[in-house]
Amino acid sequence: MSIRRPTNGPEKAVADWWRTDIIDMTPGEIGYYGYPIEDLIGNVSFTQMIWLMTQGSLPSPEKAKLLDAALMSAVDHGPQAPSIAIARMAATCGVGLNNAMASAVNVLGDVHGGAGEQAMALYQMIDDIVQNDGVDVVVATQKGLEKQRELFGKFIPGFGHRFHPVDPRAPRLMAVVEGAKTDGEVEGRFLAIAQQVELQLEQEKGQKIPMNIDGATAVIYAELGVAPELARGLFCLSRSVGILAHAWEQTQQGGRNKGPIPRDLLWTYDGPAKRSVPDSD
């Protein structure tokens, strides 16, 4: 039978099962949120396309620049990161780059990939307190931090770093947001909240617990109105670049079945000493 878009009859339910707002297609035509692909090609950047696909509208070049900054800054944190190590190990096991990327992006879960999403949720909780309780950012941040610790424990997502005394990405990203605020591109509400969180953490501890990459990209995504859950998805896109780069470098380096440590080192075994299998009867 010929290609068709069912509009009634028993096949309509089948077509509706896969309904979407994102893409329309008929033979010879492809449109994303109504924009013909041939009009988009050459006129919008990859980053603008990422926005269109996930938000449904075309961003201004200035907004796209903010998204650019968030996406380009989180691509890689070295082969000690599980996502990167997995990509490199996978690349030596006889699978394609698509598979290496999949095994790696898969682990960007609540711990490895969730801090940005959690920082956004914190900022939004504080912003909600400002909006609803008629208090200023200082008080709202006090209340917000208190509630955050009540719900999730003492760890404040987006601040402090195991490795970097100051995460070099965060102040630079904040400068970019400041610029966008000056230009009237964003309101700066979440920037102010994040800076207030950083300040109060310092006052509490008597030393700076500086904003990290997750806290900084969370400011950008919040200023841009991205949903926290989607922000994790965008982080996955970003980190996919580093994952691909390392999988590809490892492919070129060669190696077979790369394990985590050199082959001649054995792990520590802590289990029972050698013993006999009991007779099964």
Give the long-range contacts of residues 91-98, CB within 8 A, separation 24 or more: 91/246, 91/247, 91/248, 91/250, 91/251, 91/258, 92/250, 92/254, 92/255, 92/256, 92/257, 92/258, 93/257, 97/244, 97/247, 97/248, 97/251
Instruction: Based on the shown chain and the rule CB under 8 A, indicate whether residue 207 belongs to the binding site for its own copies.
Output: no
Give the range of 119-127, 133-141, 188-196, 271-279 binding its own copies by CB under 8 A: 271-279
Over the window 230 to 259, marking each residue x when it contacts its own copies by CB under 8 A and - when it does not, the resulting string is x-xxx-xxx-xxx-xxxxxx-x----xxxx
Please report how close the Cβ of residue 159 comes to its own copies at its closest, in angstroms. 16
- Distance separating alpha carbons of residues 172 and 73, to the nearest angstrom: 10
Cα–Cα distance, 78 to 70 (Å, whole number): 18
| Residue 166 within binding range of its own copies, rule CB under 8 A | yes
- Binding its own copies (rule: CB under 8 A), the pick from 147, 183, 208, 275 is 275
Does 268 participate in binding its own copies (rule CB under 8 A)?
yes
Indicate whether 8 belongs to the interface with its own copies (CB under 8 A): no
Nearer to its own copies, 55 or 200 (CB): 55
What φ, ψ does residue 24 adopt, rounded to 5°?
-115, 140
Contact flag: residue 211 with its own copies (CB under 8 A) = no
Q: Taking the complex as a whole, how short is the minimal distance between the CB of residue 130 and its own copies, in angstroms?
A: 26
**Terminal alpha carbon distance of the chain:** 64
The answer to the question of residue 9 lying near its own copies (CB under 8 A) is yes
